[in-house]
Amino acid sequence: MQILAFNGSPRKTGNTSALIKAMLKGARSAGAKTTEIRLHDINLKGCMGCLTCRKRPGKCKQQDDLSPYLEALKTCGGAIFGTPIYMYHVTGQMKMFIDRCYSLYVSKQDGSGYTSAVPPGKTFALVTSQGHPDVERFQKPIRWFAGMTGGGLGMEEVGRIIQGNSHLAPAKTDEALLEKAYAIGRKLVKRDEA
Ligand SMILES: Cc1cc2nc3c(=O)[nH]c(=O)nc-3n(C[C@H](O)[C@H](O)[C@H](O)COP(=O)(O)O)c2cc1C
C-alpha cells in the first residue's frame, strides 16, 4: 500500500521534515511504499475558484505538480499531513494544498454539507511544529487542520505529533519524539493491506 506525506514546511531538514521522515520510515517498516510531497518544492498553484469541481466531483481543473497527488489520495492506503505553525496557523504552502482539497469534497444535493470523493478505509496522521512551548496553544487551528485534511475526507486518524519548543529541542535530535513518529507511521499501515 502507498502512504503519501504532504509536507508544508519549506525547510528540508527542519522539524516537520524530520518527523515526517520518521513516520515514513515506520510506514515502510510495516510494508508500505512511501512518497513525500514537499509542497514548497513543487509547482503548486492555488485554487482558481472556478467551481468546476462542484459539477465534476473529485476533479480539480487546476493542472500543476499537485494534480497527480490529489488523484493519488483516492487510491493510497493512508496519508500524513504536516506543517509548521506560521503566524498562529498552517503555512501558506499548506493552505494552498488545503484549498485544492476542496475538489475532493462532494456537495450533497440538498446543500446540507459534503461527502468525500476519497473512498473510505484510509488512515491519516498529523504533524505540526511550533516555537511556542505550550502544545495546547494552537489547538484551534490544529483541530481545523485535521478537519480540513484527513478528517473531512473521511480518513481515520491513527495519531498526531504536536511539537513545541522547536528552537530549544529540535526534532531531529529528540529520540523519544522520533520514536513516537516511527510508531505512528507503522499504525498508518493496515496489517491486511501491507
Ligand atoms: C514566518 C514564521 C512564523 C512563525 N509563527 C509562529 C507562531 O505563530 N507560533 C509559534 O509558536 N511559532 C511560530 N514560528 C516558529 C515555527 O513554527 C517553528 O520554528 C517550527 O519549528 C518550524 O518548523 P520547521 O522546522 O518544520 O520548518 C514561526 C516561524 C516563521 C518562519
Quote the CA–CA distance of 184 and 194 in Å, as a whole number: 15
- Number of folded domains in the chain? 1
C-alpha of residue 167 to centroid of ligand 1, in Å: 9
Q: Which helix H or strand E contains 156, and what residues bound it?
A: strand 156-163
* Domain CATH for 164: 3.40.50.360
Instruction: Give 10-residue mean pLDDT values along the chain (194 residues).
Output: 98 98 98 98 98 95 98 98 98 98 95 94 98 98 98 98 96 97 96 59
The CB of 9 under 6 Å from ligand 1? The reply is: yes
The CB of 83 under 6 Å from ligand 1? The reply is: no
Atom from ligand 1 closest to the CA of residue 88 = 8
128 burial type by CB count under 10 A (0-12 exposed, 13-18 middle, 19+ buried):
buried
Handedness of CA 179, 184, 188, 193 (dihedral sign): positive
Atom from ligand 1 closest to the CA of residue 89 = 8
What are the backbone angles phi and psi of residue 82, rounded to the nearest 5°?
Answer: -130, 140
What pLDDT score was predicted for residue 194?
Answer: 55
Retrieve residue 61's grid coordinates.
481543473
The CB of 166 under 6 Å from ligand 1? The reply is: yes
Cα distance between the two ends of the chain = 5
What pLDDT score was predicted for residue 190?
Answer: 82
How would you label 55-85 residue by residue, b for 16+ Cβ within 10 Å and e otherwise? eeebebebeeebbebbeebeebbbbbbbbbb
C-alpha of residue 155 to centroid of ligand 1, in Å: 27
The CB of 15 under 6 Å from ligand 1? The reply is: yes
Owning domain of residue 150: 2-193
